[in-house]
Chain A
Amino acid sequence: MIMVENVVEIEHLQKKFGKTVALEDITFAVRQGEVFGFIGPNGAGKSTTIRTLLGILRASGGAATIFGQDVWRDAVAIHTRLAYVPGDVYLWPNLTGGEVIDLFLKLNHQKHSAKTDTLIKQFELDPTKKTRTYSKGNRQKVALIAAFSTEADLYIFDEPTSGLDPLNEEIFQKNVLALKQAGKSILLSSHILSEVERMCDRIGIIRQGRIIETGSLEEMRHLTRTVVQVQTKQAPNDISQLAGVHDIKVDSSEVNKISFAVDSDQMSPVMAALAAKEIISLQSTPPTLEDLFLRYYNDDRQEVKRDAQ
């Protein structure tokens, strides 16, 4: 086996359905042993990207490889080393959950193991019930149990926790972290940003079929603004003149107290200016992933508004 640093590699991937362009330009990579978070609004193309990676859809342009092999041509070989949980899990109604789990394992030439039993217990699934009686969350558990007990090198999860309660969500996160510690690579598409923030090493943001940002959360924070709350001895009047300062709000209840947002790359000159005013108290809040996401999302909406006008 050739060691490749990038487990998943996607270069300018395109996908058209007739005239609709679902994926315009997708480029990102998942590195060996990392958890890669894949986020974006509904309909941005997350599931289409994943289905193309699985060889279910055929790309219209660009290239995508997993383990260095072509995702369309070498799908079967790739899939022996891969486990996948879709966002909407549909199961054969007249099989039981236990039968489906075993079937999924056998389809990857693996067996029901002690780990499978542990997972069934952890997730509190009744495997003797026919899947038609399961709720959405229970169907998702079936797919998760099968995936976690599969011995694989790459795990792909497409919004896997949308039907799970918080307790099961935590079990999911624990299992993902265990995989990561075992050196596995994980591609996680999710709407639950706190989940992504906690678990992912790097993140890709997709919007309207394009990847608009990739990098670690740290790197991304540099691209955005930090909220600063500050009180100074001298009046901080000229702060608003500095480059990279936005949204200044004056706190009228206290003297010389203001809050503002500052571009991360302009932090040093702003801090120097504030120091000159003699800082009494200072509080800085790094942007959360939610801030990041909402910023891109809002940009998106403004663009749409502009287009409409």
Chain B
Amino acid sequence: MHNNNFSQTGYLTRFYLRRDWLKILIWLIGLVGLMGIGGGKFDGLYGTKAAMNSIVATLKTPAMISMFGPFTAQQPYNVALIFAMEMMVFMGLFMAIMNIYFAVKATRAEEDNGILELVRAHAVGKYAPLLAATLELLIINLVIGILESLSLIAANMTGANAAGSWLFGLGLAAVGFMFGVFSLLMAQLSDNARGATILSYLVLAILFLVRMLTDVTNPDYTWWSPFGWIEKLSVYDQNIWWPVLAMLGVALLVIGATFYAYAHRDVTAGLIATRPGRKQASALLAGPLTLIFRLERTSFIVWLIGLFVLGASYGSIFGTVGDIMKTNPMVAQLMGSKAVNAATQTVILNFAALLAIVFVVLSTIPAMQIILKLNGDERKGWLEQIHAKSISRLHLYCSYVVLALITGSLSLLLGVIGMYAAGQSVMDTPIPLSRFLRAFYGYLPALLVTVGISAVFAGLLPRLQAISWLVPIYGFISLYLGNLLDLPKWAVNLTPYGWINNVPLRQVQWPLTGALVALAFALFVIGFMLYRRRDMVEN
């Protein structure tokens, strides 16, 4: 065993797990906690039959189906069925995101750092690092899946059974592992970690949107998206196991392709090669702002297009969402056509308000990423020579902040416009753009404040700045699931997103907007004062 292509795999796997243990633990606590707390809380939420019927009616509307997947179980309903429907797509998304993170980190990122080269120079099999990364993902998913199952069993919801709980947890493990493996393949295609991450999210986004569009139009087509397979498990209802096997089968095929690609390329090279570039800098590359923009150009474009496509995808189901005649024909007949029109608009605007939360949180991500790069780029040693030039810290800081705010605002704007543009073509009575833009004006200040908080962290605690991610993550969970989980008002108000009213259904609260913009400005100033006074982070 000392001289084969896989020697030392076991040792490397243990080493990877030890290296990542803290990060694994944080994800584990987050995901298992979400599952367990959700499961424990649900029983109290829908205790009565009336409450249950009303939530099921809501969940069966196209808007909710687009967000959470279809509700396929038949009467009699129980709490466990509702829980499974509300949590499956949501948890699946988080599992996929976690796997993309660990997959790229264990493969392409190590290669970028030159660590793979060092490892491969030792008595280590050619495929051992890749196999170890694959095993690491498998173990992480398995452990989290099992713990999720156990937490569900412990939560002991009405209508839950052990078989369903095991299927839930292991199904999530399977979908997570499958996306991790997709990412391993992307890490072979791209020759840098960022490219691999972007490609992975592109795959996730496409599969998620296919799932969403097919769910709303015809759930039979959801089979086209492997992401949609988790909806077919029918947890706590029929408990169908074979989609789990299908996901593992796909994972196995992709693993084969990954190893093939890995075997046919050089270390540090990707299948998509880096082309030579310009001999001299263009006039557009002339200072910190243009430099950072140039570096972030690809992700800038990807985020803008991504938000627009996401907005347009949701906008394209506005017709179905607003079709009260279909979802509630009795009521619609009683109301009369004028009232139906008004009600339709309300339903659509309510849906748009929920979407606005998704858009604003997603738009916060690139903006925050850019702010945190103020220290991230420093740690990579890229800024040392900038500091040695006649560039003040204020200039450098402002460059990152300005680009972050431009990226965040434009992403949010394009999400809203995409929603409007696609919705326009499918609605019977179109709603004007200005109405939708309330979502933009309303939520932009929350984005500014959140990014401002990350700037303060970047100035104050450069090593722990990643803490600022808690704001958008918690904001998303508290608002997206907040109503369903019946969170108290104060718990929703912990993040700036919770302070915004139901735009675009309601009016923009301009005084609050003004106050939040002022607060954001103050946060950026504080961030700078902290940044100016300290040492730059050492490598």
- Interface contact A82-B280, CB-CB below 8 Å: no
Return A214 CB to nearest CB of chain B, in Å. 24
Closest B residue to A116 by CB, please name it: B280
Chain A positions 121-151 with a Cβ under 8 Å from a chain B Cβ: 127-130, 132-133, 143, 146
Count of B interface residues, CB-CB < 8 Å: 36
Chain B positions 375-432 with a Cβ under 8 Å from a chain A Cβ: 380-382, 384-392
Q: Hey, which chain A residues are within 8 Å of B381, CB to CB?
A: 86, 88-90
Q: Does A98 contact B (CB under 8 A)?
A: yes
Measured between alpha carbons, how far is A57 from B280 in the docked complex, in Å? 32
Q: Does B220 contact A (CB under 8 A)?
A: no
Counting chain A residues whose Cβ lies within 8 A of the other chain, the interface size class is: 35 or more
Measured between alpha carbons, how far is A167 from B208 in the docked complex, in Å? 56
Q: Does A106 contact B (CB under 8 A)?
A: yes
Q: Hey, which chain B residues are within 8 Å of A95, CB to CB?
A: 277, 285, 294-295
Return B237 CB to nearest CB of chain A, in Å. 49
- Interface contact B279-A96, CB-CB below 8 Å: yes
Q: Hey, which chain A residues are within 8 Å of B192, CB to CB?
A: 93-94, 132
Q: Does B286 contact A (CB under 8 A)?
A: yes
Q: Hey, which chain B residues are within 8 Å of A103, CB to CB?
A: 281, 285-286, 291
- Interface contact B390-A79, CB-CB below 8 Å: yes
- Interface contact B276-A56, CB-CB below 8 Å: no
- Interface contact B279-A128, CB-CB below 8 Å: yes
Measured between alpha carbons, how far is A99 from B283 in the docked complex, in Å? 10
Return A167 CB to nearest CB of chain B, in Å. 23
Contact partner of B388 among A57, A84, A90, A94, CB < 8 A? A84
The secondary structure that dominates the B interface is loop
Q: Hey, which chain B residues are within 8 Å of A51, CB to CB?
A: 384, 536
The interface-forming segment of A107-115, A186-194, A243-251, A291-299 is A107-115
- Interface contact A102-B280, CB-CB below 8 Å: yes
Closest A residue to B536 by CB, please name it: A56
Q: Does B489 contact A (CB under 8 A)?
A: no
Return B198 CB to nearest CB of chain A, in Å. 12
- Interface contact A76-B392, CB-CB below 8 Å: yes
Q: Does B287 contact A (CB under 8 A)?
A: yes
- The answer to whether residues A55 and B281 also contact, given A88-B381, A93-B192, A132-B192 and a CB cut-off of 8 A, is no
Q: Does B338 contact A (CB under 8 A)?
A: no
Closest B residue to A96 by CB, please name it: B277
- Interface contact B278-A98, CB-CB below 8 Å: yes
- The answer to whether residues A75 and B384 also contact, given A56-B535, A130-B274 and a CB cut-off of 8 A, is no
Interface residues of B (CB under 8 A from A): 112, 191-192, 274-282, 285-288, 291, 294-295, 380-382, 384-392, 533-536, 539
Interface residues of A (CB under 8 A from B): 17, 51, 54-58, 75-77, 79-80, 82-84, 86, 88-96, 98-104, 106-109, 112, 127-130, 132-133, 143, 146, 156
**Closest A-B pairs by Cβ, 9 of them:** A90-B381, A102-B281, A84-B388, A107-B389, A96-B277, A80-B390, A99-B281, A79-B390, A128-B276
